[in-house]
Amino acid sequence: MTQTKIESELGKRLREIRKEVIASGVPLLNAEEIEQERKERQGGYQES
């Protein structure tokens, strides 16, 4: 399997997941919220 094929399948799956989340009514995170979530999960987020 080529790298392009792998990326294309990954992209397809990510788009499917996004559609499922939107359909469930869960709001999508914006870039700032994603960064905050990432930091919280890594133990690095601290509210000032």
> Rounded CA gap, 23 and 2, in Å?
32
Q: Domain extents for the chain?
A: 3-41
Q: What is the reported pLDDT for 43?
A: 83
Q: How far are the Cα atoms of 15, 30, 39, 48 from residue 43, in angstroms, in the given order? A: 28, 20, 6, 15
- Chain mean position to CA 46: 22
Does residue 33 carry a pLDDT above 90? yes
9-28: per-residue pLDDT in tens?
A: 899 999 999 999 999 999 99
Instruction: State the pTM of this model.
Output: 0.56
Q: What is the reported pLDDT for 12?
A: 92
